[in-house]
Structures are given as C-alpha cells and as structure tokens.
Structure 1
Amino acid sequence: TFGCGAAIATSSMATVLVKGKTVQEALKVTNKAVMEALDGLPPVKVHCSLLAEEAIHAALWDYAEKNGIVIEGLEKPVSDISEHDHGHDDEDDE
C-alpha cells in the first residue's frame, strides 16, 4: 500500500486478519474488524479501513476469476474507488 500511515496500517492488519482463513471467512472480515484490531482510528482515517476491506474483496474476486469459481456473497469490485461512496468527505490524507 502507498499512502498515509493509516492506509498502510489498515492494509497490513487486513492481511493479518485473513491469513489462514477460508475464502468465506476472509469475506467476512470487515472494516470494523480491521479498526478494532488496530484499537481504533481517528474519524478522518476511517475511510482507510474501508479501503482495506475493499482490497480484500478485490483480491477474492481476482482469485475467483482466475480459478473459475463463484464466491457466494461476493460482488464485483468497482474499477475506480471514487465510484464507491462511503459517506466521507475527501480530506487530505497526508
């Protein structure tokens, strides 16, 4: 991950949380689980945990596509993160 410290921390924690899990278990890892594992995030950095959750889903989608499988409950990820509205204002992440 390239970005601010919160983006790096949430992405790293997401990998820790999915390691060793089944596909269905990994699909259930949420941004809230990522934030809890990090003992919280400042309100202006909550969107970083959403990016981590979306990265998990995108990786699962890629895995399913490459292996010709369907993962129940998984939706195709958006091609541009700006297409996905999380109810957050665009704020400087630096």
Structure 2
Amino acid sequence: MAKRIVVHVPHRLGIEEARQRLNGRADWAQQKLRREGVRLVIADWKGNDRPFTAHALGQHVDGLVAVTERSLRFEIGVPWMLSVFSPKIEAAAKHYAARLMA
C-alpha cells in the first residue's frame, strides 16, 4: 500500500511566476536528482498542476506539483517499500522546491 506525502512550500511569486520558475529550472532538478540515483520524468502542465514520476531503487513514485498563488503543493505516492525514506523524501521535496523558487 502506498503512503501519500503532502508537502507545502510557501512562496510570494504568484502563479505565473512560480510556473515560469518551475519550467525554467526543471532540467536542473532532473540533472541534480539523476546524480543522486533518481530518474525524474516531468509531464506537461494540466492547468496549474504538473504530474511527475520518479524512478529509484527499482521503484517508481508518482507525484504532482500544484501551483497556487501562495504555495507549491507536492503530493507524492510512495510505495510501501520506500516508505521508510518518507522523511528524506519530504525534506528533499522542500529543499528542491525552495531552490526552484529562489
């Protein structure tokens, strides 16, 4: 059974600027995660939501980043086998989101 992780990262950029920053830095995030053994596949925008899939340790994680006027919301479904890493996944999501919005 998958564990659902939800991470909220506040920002003051507005929706359009936050989306532009996510678009402009998606390649950076993919390269950085690849060096850590995670392959990130980012789908196209669906409104203000952007689905993604990450592959690591022979497992895949489905997720979504939702952009609102004041925050990014990451929803990540972590397989049971990787749920022990939930605190690290949550910390990484916060770290990378802050870097993407800077």
Which TM-score band (shorter chain)? 0.3 to 0.5
TM-score by length of 1: 0.33
Higher helix share: 1
Asked which structure has the greater RCO (Cα within 8 Å, sep 6+), the reply is 2
TM-score by length of 2: 0.32
